[in-house]
Structure 1
């Protein structure tokens, strides 16, 4: 291939979360477009099966960095530096991990050739590799996690992570939040682009055709996401309870697992929703349930982009969501904005009733911004 390029995608772990899914989608999209793609996992083994045309490498960069002088820095950090300057562990760890990573990249390039672009995703990768300052490197920001207070220490740590870096935000909402956060702390980026996460639309449509057991005999709404505080499924349950008392005849299917599951199941019992709410836990393929739902509901307090919304739209399933910081309002456009509501129980209940009483037809053109082809082309443009 005449214009073939070589990419290295780096993340701390390859588990089942959104960052990992976005990384897999991007890696496979680039590989399917004819480029050479390598994924480097910095800790643990991959829990995902990537396509055969993607090269996957594993190296525990933290452990590797504790050799020779790195061990001395590690001990100095644990015994003196971090106790002296609280929260500074990322500085010293990042110095030694970045040095080890530089050697890892050099070895990969000896074996496979020079990389045209290095993409880092996730706070863990940012913190461990902040001192790796190669002009080919871009850091993909899904959300501003690990915010530091606007104190001298917080400003210093923010500079460590972001000063002079090249950043890709996954939505204009994330871009705005990051710019405001950095401006308050006097930090400047070298470059800042917005590129949405890609969604493998045709692959999702194929997965949605798989046969699964029915969650309920009633028509239903579906929620897919980790059961963690930021997703605020407690709001979802309270709103669903209100909607039932206002005439909603649908059930609610919740797909996902996480730290809040027991509390949410307890809340469901307190609201007497046991027969109307169905917790299915983590599902490797949630798309058949999304495909058969009358609408998907998202109750988050923040979404960097809201990929689950795009996935639902790809299956022709309309979406109900709270209008919160991040990229939700960039996904739900035109007629879909009718189902974008304030982040409170009654507003979400009203949106559920609206969606079921006046069904919305999904316009396939809403998805054009999130195709693999579009996102790959945007990446190629900034590597030129």
Structure 2
């Protein structure tokens, strides 16, 4: 079977990592995979794609997606008119551009808009005439509709949805029923068997950082490492508990985070480790995993922390955190509440019975994210596509 995965760029990121994991799994099962990168300048992860998968570059900006402007409908009384003023010429421009790139669109049986952004959703909905199509939602349907109504307009064209959360509201249910949407809940697969643990590096990390808390993620506002840094300050002030924090990752917010560390006088406790491929060694060296992002689809880092046996304290990043930790697999606190996050971290350091209970629950929960389970769900789902 021929399947196309369409991405809004292949930079380093959680969505891209999950997509490549699917590509590897399907390639190993003799599916013929084509990867379409709509932002060829973002290609850092293309080297991770299996050699037997074909890669095609077709530049297709989000600006070419008419539904991108659908948010105007909600922000102004004249929003509907403003939307059409923007969307109509963009739609015409897109149709003209299609004449140029159409010959490069692969002939496949299934086309997946895997990034779930306006450009890959639009590209899949407007092309692949003979293929069945899937929109991949990295979260729940309701959350996407909360962003803008344009997502539902594209889902209506594509018909088949994969979501990472069971969360839904009446409006979504009504939309799905009215438009005969074929929807499935399929978790991201996590496959870490190939990541070798280097005991020397693990030992070195423990010697360097001691008994430390870990967070992995790019340094951006939507990851909110600042709340975790403030939580570390609360730990020190409220409980007289002085623990180190290691932040693995890099990004545009690093400088502001470093300033916050200085303001809180935590220079000897917070360490910026930079971006690393061998994150498995950091998980093995850490004592606790903390997560402070305000919103997540299905955060891979929490699955990795579970896999490596770390107790987890996390803010309730909707919808993904609860979806992963819901069976008493971690401690969940309100988004942005540094003191509550500090309280959870303190419990993990002081209540050993609780920690063992969480670890046991995680061992059962992680099985639902194993590749063999997920790929079976995927193969069953594609048999039902409309």
Contact 1:28 1:50 in 2 (8 A): no
Gaps of 5+ in 2: 65-80
Aligned residue number for residue 235 of structure 2? 243
TM-score, with length taken from structure 1: 0.79
Cα distance, 1:331 vs. partner?
Answer: 1.1
- SS of 1:202 mapped into structure 2: coil
> Counterparts of 1:107-186 in structure 2 under 5 Å?
108-109=106-107, 115-122=108-115, 123=117, 124-132=119-127, 134=129, 135-143=131-139, 155=149, 157-158=150-151, 160-165=153-158, 166-173=160-167, 176=168, 180=171
Match of 2:274 in 1: 281
The alignment partner of 2:134 has SS state of strand
Residues 129 and 251 (structure 1), Cα distance of their counterparts in 2 relative to 1, 3 Å cut:
same
CA distance in 1, matches of 2:161, 2:97: 20
Q: Aligned-pair distance for 1:88?
A: 6.0
Whether the 8 Å contact between 2:111 and 2:128 is mirrored in structure 1 is no
The answer for the alignment partner of 2:103 in structure 1 is 103
CA distance in 2, matches of 1:307, 1:133: 30
Aligned length: 348
Q: Comparing 192-201 with 270-279, which one deviates more in the overlay?
A: 192-201
Which residue of the partner structure matches residue 369 of structure 2? 370
Q: For 1:231, what is the secondary structure of its paired residue?
A: coil
Structure 1 residue 21 and structure 2 residue 17: aligned? Answer: yes
Cα shift at 1:29: 1.3
Q: Within 1, Cα distance between the matches of 2:98 and 2:245?
A: 46
Answer yes or no: is the 8 Å Cα contact 1:164–1:188 preserved in 2.
Answer: no
Do the aligned partners of 2:197 and 2:281 also contact (CA within 8 Å) in 1? yes
Name the SS of the counterpart of 1:254 in structure 2.
Answer: strand
Once the two structures are TM-superposed, the CA of residue 317 in structure 1 deviates from its matched residue by 1.5
8 Å CA contact retained: 1:162, 1:189: no
In structure 2, the residue corresponding to 1:201 is in which secondary structure?
coil
Residues 232-271 of structure 1: per-residue CA shift (max 9 Å, x gap): 2111111111012213232000111222211111111101
Aligned-residue Cα RMSD (Å) equals 3.3
SS of residue matched to 2:48: coil
Q: How far apart are the structure 1 equivalents of 2:49 and 2:18?
A: 14
Structure 1 segment 16-55 matched on structure 2, within 5 A: 16-44=12-40, 46-48=43-45, 49-50=47-48, 52-55=50-53
For 1:129 and 1:86, locate their aligned partners in 2 and report how far apart those are by CA, in whole Å: 21
Q: Using the alignment, how far apart are the partners of 1:132 and 1:232 within structure 2?
A: 37
Q: CA deviation at 1:102?
A: 5.0
Distance change in 2, residues 1:98/1:346 (3 Å)? farther
Provide closer, same or farther for how the CA distance between residues 383 and 278 of structure 1 changes in structure 2, counting only shifts above 3 A.
same
Among 199, 207, 232, which residue is 2:224 paired with?
232
2:67 matched to which residue of 1?
none
Does the alignment pair 1:211 with 2:201? yes
Which sections of structure 1, spanning at least 5 residues, go unmatched? Answer: 67-80, 110-114
SS in 2 for 1:85: helix
Partners in 1 of 2:289 and 2:151 — Cα distance? 36
Q: Flag the 1:263–1:183 CA change in 2: closer, same or farther, 3 A.
A: farther
Q: Please identify, of 181-190 and 230-239, the stretch whose mean Cα deviation from structure 2 is larger.
A: 181-190
The question of whether the paired residues in 2 share the 8 Å contact of 1:305 and 1:328 is answered with yes
State the alpha-carbon separation in 1 of the partners of residues 36 and 327 from structure 2. Answer: 39
Q: How much has 1:83 moved relative to structure 2?
A: 9.9
**1:78 corresponds to:** none
Partner residue in 2 for 1:85: 85
SS in structure 2 at match of 1:367: helix
Residue 263 of structure 2 corresponds to which residue in structure 1?
Answer: 270
Residue 306 of structure 1 corresponds to 299
Mapped contact 2:34–2:56 kept (Cα < 8 A): no
Question: What is the CA distance between 1:210 and its match in structure 2?
Answer: 7.4
For residue 343 of structure 2, what is the aligned residue in structure 1? 350
